[in-house]
């Protein structure tokens, strides 16, 4: 019998690299992903840390809502939609954080299910190998602030001296 998917459920990609000491009992869930049977997010994290590997979060929460009649089929469909929203090569596990099921007031047999999840990643190092691993991450450019002799900072993106004067800030020389 399949395990009910609820908050704390962990899914791992079929081709995920895992430490040899780590053995999870799992079952197929959605195409390309397996559901971990005996661990929730915390238990899985502890087991992975014992091997010296790291299990960390990559993004914020992702959610998908599905309408239908059978709750379990709807949950699986919502998970497939979540996985389609993000680039799959960027992470190798997913933690379900919340599953809400609500019946329609107007149509008693129809309900909707909202599944919320967070993408996670298992790897040997505690550092990502490059910023390209996380979608949307960009190299940040540091701007060098040039200071005038009297201590006023001027750089692009900061308020101009005129704006400071309107607010009541004035530049005073510091001798």
Q: What is the 3-state secondary structure (H, E, C) of the chain?
A: CCCCCCCCCEEEECCCCCCCCCCCCEEEEECCEEEECCCCHHHHHHHHHHCCCEEEEEEEEEEEEEEECCHHHHHHHHHHHHHHHCCHHHCCEEEEEEEEEEECCCCCCCEEEEEEEEEEEEECCCCCCCHHHCCCCCCCCCCCCEECCCCCEECCCCCCHHHHHHHCCCCCCCC
Whether residues 97 and 153 fall in one domain: no
Task: For residue 122, give Cα distances in angstroms to 38, 39, 106, 126.
Answer: 17, 15, 44, 9
Whether residues 147 and 125 fall in one domain: no
Write down the residue that tokens 């996380």 correspond to.
Answer: 134
Q: Is the pTM of this model over 0.75?
A: no
Whether residues 14 and 39 fall in one domain: yes
Whether residues 25 and 81 fall in one domain: yes
Whether residues 129 and 147 fall in one domain: no
Whether residues 44 and 63 fall in one domain: yes
The Cα 77–Cα 10 span in angstroms is 16
Q: Which domain holds residue 89?
A: 10-133
Amino acid 154: pLDDT: 46
> Could you tell me if 124 and 19 are in contact, meaning their C-beta atoms sit under 8 angstroms apart?
yes
Whether residues 60 and 112 fall in one domain: yes
Whether residues 94 and 171 fall in one domain: no
Whether residues 105 and 160 fall in one domain: no
The CA radius of gyration of the chain, in Å to the nearest whole number, is: 24
Per-residue pLDDT of 130-174, as tens digits, reads: 444 444 433 333 333 334 444 444 444 444 444 444 444 444 444
What confidence category does residue 128 fall into, taking pLDDT thresholds of 50, 70 and 90? low
Whether residues 159 and 117 fall in one domain: no
Is 163 within the bounds of a domain?
Answer: yes
Whether residues 24 and 77 fall in one domain: yes
Whether residues 167 and 88 fall in one domain: no
Task: For residue 69, give Cα distances in angstroms to 60, 73, 156.
Answer: 29, 8, 56
Residue 117: pLDDT over 80: yes
Per-residue pLDDT of 77-105, as tens digits, reads: 999 999 888 765 578 899 999 999 888 77
Is 73 within the bounds of a domain?
Answer: yes
Is 70 within the bounds of a domain?
Answer: yes
Q: Which is more confident, 106 or 37?
A: 37
> Could you tell me if 141 and 108 are in contact, meaning their C-beta atoms sit under 8 angstroms apart?
no
Is 1 within the bounds of a domain?
Answer: no
Is 3 within the bounds of a domain?
Answer: no
Is 2 within the bounds of a domain?
Answer: no
The Cα 94–Cα 117 span in angstroms is 7
Is 75 within the bounds of a domain?
Answer: yes
Number of structural domains the chain divides into: 2
Share of the chain above pLDDT 70, in %: 68
């Amino acid at each position: 019998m399949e395990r009910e998917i609820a908050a704390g459920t962990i899914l791992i990609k079929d081709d995920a690299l895992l430490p040899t000491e780590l053995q999870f009992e799992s079952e197929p869930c959605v195409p390309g992903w397996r559901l971990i049977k005996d661990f929730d997010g915390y238990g899985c994290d502890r087991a992975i840390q014992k091997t010296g590997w790291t299990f960390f979060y990559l993004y914020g929460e992702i959610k998908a809502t599905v309408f239908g009649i059978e709750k379990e089929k709807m949950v699986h469909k919502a998970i497939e939609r979540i996985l389609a929203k993000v680039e799959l090569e960027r992470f190798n596990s997913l933690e379900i954080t919340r599953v809400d099921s609500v019946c329609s007031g107007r149509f008693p047999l129809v309900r909707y299910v909202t599944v919320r999840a967070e993408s996670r990643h298992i790897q040997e190092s505690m550092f990502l190998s490059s910023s390209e691993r996380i979608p949307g991450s960009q190299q940040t450019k540091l701007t060098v602030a040039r200071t005038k002799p009297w201590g006023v900072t001027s750089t692009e993106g900061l308020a101009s001296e005129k704006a400071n004067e309107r607010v009541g800030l004035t530049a005073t020389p510091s001798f």
